Amino acid sequence: MGIVNSFVNQIGRETGRDAYRSIISSNKFRSKVSSVESPLSLLQDVKSFELTANDEATLLKITNLVEKSENSDPEDFEWQELFRELDNKIDFCKENLNKEFHCKLEILDQLNADNFQKVKKEHIDYIKRVINVLEDNVQNSEEKNITTAKLLSFIGLRPYYMDKKVVYSTFNVILLLIMGSIFYLGYLAYSEPILNAGNAPVSTQEQIAKVSRMGISLMVFISLLYIIYLALAFRKVNKYKCPIKENKQSIDQFQKYLSELQK
């Protein structure tokens, strides 16, 4: 049977695998079902298939492998290699088994082709779902304005605007309020050291100047922390565009792969 070999040789398996690797870290694309046969383990069984001393036992062995392939996981890109190997093993059996088994091998050959088409259709549906998810991610990401995100970083609302992270935004706002309060206390100590010295002595000019310097130091320290905070926030905003670019590249790869599958 040439249908499996010709098709598998035609489509760009590496293109699909490259696109798949680019999103494999996301669990949303891998919903394993316990009843689904693992293509990797089944593929190893097919590759290790050998003739037995009994032709009938050999036929039973290859038949079991073909039947198992029907439940291959269409989300795994090894399914193509699996059917190619099965096709080769069936041809191998045709060459080595007695002619009385050829009729059954032809039926098995057709069953393998039917299974291939079934898994192929399921795989195409899966690729379409992946593309839809990636396109939704890109659309949602591009709705965010980078300039707005940077402006909102000044008041701690960047996480909520970009990712709807209420907890993180609340934490950032509280942190900025604390930093602002400390800065204000430093300003008061600098501008009016006598009234805002707390328990520090202010009976001499040197002591007053010391309180004032402490206020300046406090303001400088908080200002540096705020600058670091903004730098980290802006860095995250700038990185926000990276996943968009990666998703677009993955979409292009999957669409190219899909067009090859549908030829």
- Band of residue 9 on the pLDDT scale cut at 50, 70, 90: very low
The percent of residues above 70 in pLDDT, for the chain, comes to 84
pLDDT value at residue 83 = 92
Mean pLDDT, the chain, rounded, equals 82
**Measuring CA to CA, how many Å separate 257 from each of 18, 121, 218, 239?**
10, 14, 59, 28
- pLDDT, tens only, 127-140: 999 899 888 888 87
pLDDT value at residue 14 = 54
Residue 188 CB neighbours (<10 A): 15
Long-range contacts of 171-177 (CB under 8 A, 24+ apart): 175/229, 176/226, 176/229
